[in-house]
Chain A
């Protein structure tokens, strides 16, 4: 896993990352976000990387081997406790599938307007990552959806089965870029 994690450290899509950088504010990071970022940096060091901060949004890129620990730290130490969404994006040019978790906060008043995102870059031919159900129970069905729509394996998921697609589906996962709609 670690070697794959190393491979996947490369940018998912250079275009997209460049654009994301272009959106980065040039002003200093506000103290609230700075506080979170410092805490995470102190704990995880180079296993995680800040992708950007925008008003009320923070995104980190992390390695799959620390994801459970990271999520637990995020929930217990910082207070982001409300899972909002799990999304996957396919970047075939870079041979990467990116899984991104968006976590909100319901309890710490100053973070309630913020959404914390952390993304994992997984190799496209063997996308595997540990499940986050032990930390956020609400991600169970989101992860099942990402599994069937993009083929990402969430290790340790109690029921990694088809949820939305037809029972006789025998094609590649439909949200991968090489799956095309008939007639288009």
Chain B
């Protein structure tokens, strides 16, 4: 009852004019960053991170929710129109959406993607609201050894879900190495400072995040040929759609089936709960399932609307799922929630059961903001701004990236007031650029930065409490449960990965034949 009252009061907070303004600002930033190839909603939140320092936390979280939901959705806009997924999560949308565009049905495809995203996002947010009390009850049962085993589970799963696991281990190790610089969490000893007093307090989270994600991206974008980029996007500039073109016929929605929407939303939500899995996997798994159960699987790869809808519904439902482990246990479900966790940490808020019990008033508006962001996708995208979304790629690329370059480097200064940390961000950016070029995944890096220090703290505390006896991880039921879960995932996930890779290869072969 208490929680329902707090959710209701959270609704009132989000409906205040200033909060709504932040939500809309976040929403449109998300649309722009999600729609432009190379930019992601994660990068948008990275750049917003230093600005949130001076904002009330509730507004910062509301804005982040707007960015998160719209950023995942808007990846579909360029995926459909110019066959370049604005966000990695829109890869499957691209497979089905662009063939529709070629048939002159691009606006209708965007309409279907919008409806799917709105339904998926809303179901995901509702499940988050109703499932988090259960997650809270479970989280309260986890003690220190269990917390260590849970983090270990998360770190191992993050590595397993990546295709290049060895590289994921290196990426994760690099994140942990950087997070261990500074004072030891349990003793007053400074580590890896090499006599530099600037490093005694460690490397700031904002420095790490901006360096790894924003600055490295600026180097990568410098290699993109501007003329070629303009040519690629000119196709979208020449498209003219009327508002009514965005409304898909009811007959088609009936053909897709209510079950496809629901099933994809639940799949996306559950994949979101899994640490490290993310929107791309949610979209992919739902797409494969839609193909498996479709009455016309032969249409897939040539403009199957049910495939497009399944992918878009799932990747937006993932948003709600990814927030469950982040809020209840402090373990982010994907890269974006890892940075949202960073926003919470900036305010000194420690996620976990206590957050949901004692500070529900802070979190409730965030839940509602996620739900409202999903809800406003329909009126804003279908009725108002749909035709204008296509013009986002017209934004002058030089101005945009130069602006991002200034915001990124000043963001580090704004967060730390330290020129030294700006230099550290640059060095991290250079390293991550080379890692990215060699296809080292970056999600394990960010999760390691956040979970690494906690992992060390819980490991050492558990062993101190048990006088150095490692059996403490087996004799505690909660810890044993996560260890068994880790073993199960280590055995099962690679099999599932192999199956999905085989399906992907098969699909690529079919596409080649076409």
Interaction A to B: no
> Which B residues contact A (CB, under 8 angstroms)?
none
> Which A residues contact B (CB, under 8 angstroms)?
none
